[in-house]
Amino acid sequence: MSNLAAQDNAALTSPPILQYHPQFKQIGPRDIILQADDEARLCFHFDLARLLPISSFFADLANPLPSDLIDNTPLYPLIDTTSAGLALFLSAIESLSSAEPFRTKQSISGPPLAQIVLEAALIGRRYDTPVITRLLCELQPHDPMQDMETRLAMPFALWALAGVADQIADAARATARCDTFDIINIPSYMFDILQNWVPVHWMGLQGLHLRRASAGSRFYQACLSTRPSRFRACEACEAGGVDGAEIFGREAYHAYSARDMEALLKRGLGISCRECRGSLEEVLRVQLAWFREFTQKYDFVTSYAQWIARFR
Ligand SMILES: [Zn+2]
């Protein structure tokens, strides 16, 4: 056998050299080895007993084959995991047995913490560990590096990846309630993950924000279609020539988005007379109810024409 062939044989039979994450280098008596599948392929010693009660994936793990053993410790490569995401995921699981709330530091180099949080959430989704969502939600507000869009869209992304319907809707509405939130400013890594893993929820969130962008002018059109002429000013206003419907109409014409219109509604429809305001709100009762649903519901919402048909 040539020297070269002998070297090749040695490379084939010798165990691979594993790189361990510094925090998970130490091996404990019941540990297994988990390996990320990104370029770094970092390995993590972890106590399997900690994963069994919280993950049906790990609870159903098949017995290791002899070829899976590294010095008698089974090694499980976890597909679709990043090394940073797996480190955060396992740190979060470790925190379950600590009295302290789960915290982690933003690393100076590497991807932003919010991206690693999403990678850890994906591991929880793939390996059926639902508790991770709550732990990551708790961690989230303590990251000072975040911009508005990341901070508000993150709970939505975490609950969407976990598939918890009520929480998804609440988180979606929270993004819509914020005056300065702009969906086009969410970070690209979050956009990619939402689009690839939970496209229906991502479409739902976009739908909500698209609707809100046009809601002001749609509401204005809906108001016109209801014959605002049904409105009668109070005696004092009528005598003074003050027409509440006209005042509201003038301002509403320029309120294109839900935000603009909501501000106008908050200012009492721009009408200072209490009695007239009450009368106009009564005339526009159905339109106002539709506007609230159209701008706040995280779900498929019908057009005004379809919606009004229910009342006929
Ligand atoms: Zn009046």
In a domain, 70, yes or no: yes
Q: The domain spanning residue 26 has which CATH number?
A: 3.30.710.10
Mean pLDDT of the chain: 89
Distance 168 CA to ligand 1 centre (A): 43
If asked whether residues 196 and 227 sit together in one domain, one would say no
Query: What's the rounded Cα separation, in Å, for the pair 148 and 253?
Result: 30
If asked whether residues 169 and 227 sit together in one domain, one would say no
Distance 279 CA to ligand 1 centre (A): 9
Distance 237 CA to ligand 1 centre (A): 4
Q: Which two tokens stand for residue 205?
A: 């969130």
Distance 256 CA to ligand 1 centre (A): 26
Distance 253 CA to ligand 1 centre (A): 21
Distance 305 CA to ligand 1 centre (A): 30
Distance 235 CA to ligand 1 centre (A): 7
Q: How many domains does the chain have?
A: 2
If asked whether residues 72 and 154 sit together in one domain, one would say yes
In a domain, 8, yes or no: no
Those residues with Cβ within 8 angstroms of residue 49's Cβ, 6 or more apart along the chain or in another chain? 30
For the segment 190-223, what is each residue's pLDDT rounded down to a tens digit? 999 999 999 999 999 999 999 999 999 999 999 9
H, E, C per residue of the chain? CCHHHHHHHHHHHCCCCCCECHHHCCCCCCEEEEECCCCCCCEEEEEHHHHHHHCHHHHCCCCCCHHHEECCEEEEECCCCCHHHHHHHHHHHHHCCCCCCCCCCCCCCCCCHHHHHHHHHHHHHHCCCCHHHHHHHHHHHHCCCCCHHHHHHHHHHHHHHHCCHHHHHHHHHHHHHCCCCCHHHCCHHHHHHHHHHCHHHHHHHHHHHHHHHHHHHHHHHHHHCCCHHHCCCCHHHHHHCCCHHHHHHHHHCCCCCHHHHHHHHHCHHHCCCHHHHHHHHHHCHHHHHHHHHHHHCCCCCCCHHHHHHCCC
If asked whether residues 245 and 153 sit together in one domain, one would say no
Domain containing 49: what range?
14-204
For the segment 97-130, what is each residue's pLDDT rounded down to a tens digit? 888 888 887 666 678 889 999 999 999 999 999 9
Q: Residue 43: phi, psi to the nearest 5?
A: -110, 155
Is a pLDDT exceeding 50 seen at residue 275?
yes
Distance 267 CA to ligand 1 centre (A): 15
If asked whether residues 279 and 164 sit together in one domain, one would say no
For the segment 3-38, what is each residue's pLDDT rounded down to a tens digit? 555 555 555 556 668 999 999 999 998 899 999 999
Report the pLDDT value the prediction gives residue 228, as an integer from 0 to 100: 63
Distance 234 CA to ligand 1 centre (A): 4
Distance 269 CA to ligand 1 centre (A): 13
Task: Please state the pTM of the whole predicted model.
Answer: 0.83
Distance 230 CA to ligand 1 centre (A): 15
In a domain, 7, yes or no: no
Query: What's the rounded Cα separation, in Å, for the pair 15 and 111?
Result: 31
Distance 246 CA to ligand 1 centre (A): 12
Distance 238 CA to ligand 1 centre (A): 7
Distance 236 CA to ligand 1 centre (A): 6
Distance 257 CA to ligand 1 centre (A): 27
Distance 283 CA to ligand 1 centre (A): 14
